[in-house]
Amino acid sequence: MIDHADYNDAVQTIKQAILQSQYQAAKGSNAVQLRLYYAVGEYVAANSREGHWGQGALRAISERLQRELPGLRGFSERNLKYMRTFFEEWSPILLGSNSAEASAELESPAPGVIRQLRLPNYDRVPVEGFLSIGFSHHCLILSSVKDAEERVYYVKRCAQERMSVDTLKQAIKQDAYRHQGALPNNFTQTLSTPQQALRAIDMFKDEYLLDFINVEELGVRDAADVDERVVEQAIVHNVKNFIMAFGRAFTFVSNQYHLDAFGVDQYIDLLFFNRDLNCLVAVELKSGPFKTAYLGQLSGYLSVLNGFERKEHENPPIGIILCKDMDKAFVDYMVQDYKQPLGVATYKTSKDMSEELLRALPPIEDLERLLESAGE
């Protein structure tokens, strides 16, 4: 039984693990930090959960570590608890591999030893992705998302898109996991290759939360009175927020983009360029529910963009209708008859946020406190 008033063995064990990692961590290796945090979390969990340590142990250990390693950051009492959570929440998934090699790598370390974590090459949680995102990202995912598959989704997206913490927070708020690949579209029939179609399907969601559009601030009495031009101007004034909500690799070209073909003036509400898709993306805003006439209008814009605006090295332009409501099955059926690549999504403003979504997110002050402490 450890002496609760002393905790000397625990302090020396954690201190030794920190010192062993310090050189590599100084070189900026995020993976080294995460391996250390996971291993410390395992050690803390094994001793604190089974009653080996008394109440106040983590505070005492943290204070001793600060004294013995002056200038040490990231090992506050709160962060030691986060490390324990990091281990406890991820270990059932990381230990899910049945390979003997993985089991040997991840078996419990000997008493008084913190062994640096070496993760198996596990398909559900790619090692490179898992270790490439920051501890603050992991803390945010663990505190905001409870489903294991959903957590894996955000880890993969963070790694692939190199998300900042703010961008990750926005993706979780947008409920990106449940809206992935659900956009009614005709991409598989109209885009040049299956790969391009899959990229486009993955790029767009079926619903966007434009929570930066505050109806009260715009002086509109009711959300139903918000017309397309009001939404458009709010998007233009908050184009960075819109791009963060819309997806990755978008560049804003213009609003009310003028098309002049055959002497006919036409105007696209919002025009973007997407680097990943290598194509123009035309967005039409509609304040009410979906109507089939919108498809014909946007299809005409895309024909002109394709024939008069597209550069030789670019892929054909894609059109997205953003409306307030739609019957997805009906839209999916109707869009198949068009030759231009089209998709239809809905959007919500700040007044439309459901209580369920608001409850699903931790209070903003809790997130800020979590992220600040993760960087200690």
DSSP 8-class letter at 223: G
pLDDT of 115: 55
Q: How far apart are CA 85 and CA 87, in angstroms?
A: 5
Q: How far apart are CA 9 and CA 352, in angstroms?
A: 55
pLDDT of 164: 86
Q: How many residues does the chain have?
A: 376
Which pLDDT tens digit goes with each residue over 46-90? 888 876 788 889 999 999 999 998 888 889 999 999 999 999 998
Q: How far apart are CA 324 and CA 220, in angstroms?
A: 16
Which pLDDT tens digit goes with each residue over 230-241? 777 777 777 777
Q: Are 86 and 374 in contact (CB under 8 A)?
A: no
- Band of the pLDDT at 282, cuts 50, 70, 90? very high
Q: What is the mean pLDDT of the segment spanning 8-37?
A: 72
- Please compute, for residue 209, the number of CA atoms within 13 A of its CA located in the half-sphere on the CB side: 18
pLDDT of 367: 44
Residue that wins the pLDDT comparison between 148 and 362: 148
Which pLDDT tens digit goes with each residue over 294-326? 999 999 999 999 999 999 999 999 999 999 999
pLDDT of 129: 78
Asked whether the predicted pLDDT for residue 280 surpasses 50, the reply is yes
Which pLDDT tens digit goes with each residue over 133-182? 889 999 999 999 999 888 988 998 888 878 888 888 888 887 888 877 67
Q: What are phi and psi of 238, to 5 degrees?
A: -125, 45
Asked whether the predicted pLDDT for residue 101 surpasses 50, the reply is no
Q: What is the mean pLDDT of the segment spanning 204-223?
A: 61
Quick one: what percent of the chain has pLDDT higher than 70? 74
Alpha helices, DSSP H, located in the chain: 8-26, 30-48, 57-68, 77-94, 100-106, 127-132, 135-144, 148-161, 165-173, 176-179, 187-190, 194-203, 228-237, 239-246, 292-304, 328-335, 355-360, 364-374
Q: What is the mean pLDDT of the segment spanning 249-254?
A: 90
Residue that wins the pLDDT comparison between 244 and 53: 53
Asked whether the predicted pLDDT for residue 277 surpasses 50, the reply is yes
Which pLDDT tens digit goes with each residue over 337-355? 999 999 999 988 766 655 5
For the chain, the structural domain boundaries read 8-174+363-374, 178-356
pLDDT of 309: 94
pLDDT of 295: 96
Contacts of 25 (CB under 8 A, 6+ apart): 32, 33, 36
Q: How far apart are CA 201 and CA 188, in angstroms?
A: 9
pLDDT of 65: 92
pTM: 0.59
Contacts of 50 (CB under 8 A, 6+ apart): none
Q: How far apart are CA 300 and CA 18, in angstroms?
A: 62
pLDDT of 39: 87
pLDDT of 208: 85
Residue that wins the pLDDT comparison between 1 and 182: 182
Asked whether the predicted pLDDT for residue 123 surpasses 70, the reply is no
Mean pLDDT, the chain, integer: 79
Contacts of 197 (CB under 8 A, 6+ apart): 187, 188, 191
Burial code (b: 16+ CB inside 10 Å, e: under 16) for 165-185 equals bebbbbbbbbbbbebbeebbb
Q: Is CATH 3.40.1350.10 the classification given to domain 178-356?
A: yes
Asked whether the predicted pLDDT for residue 333 surpasses 70, the reply is yes
pLDDT of 61: 92
3-state secondary structure of 284: strand
Quick one: what percent of the chain has pLDDT higher than 90? 34
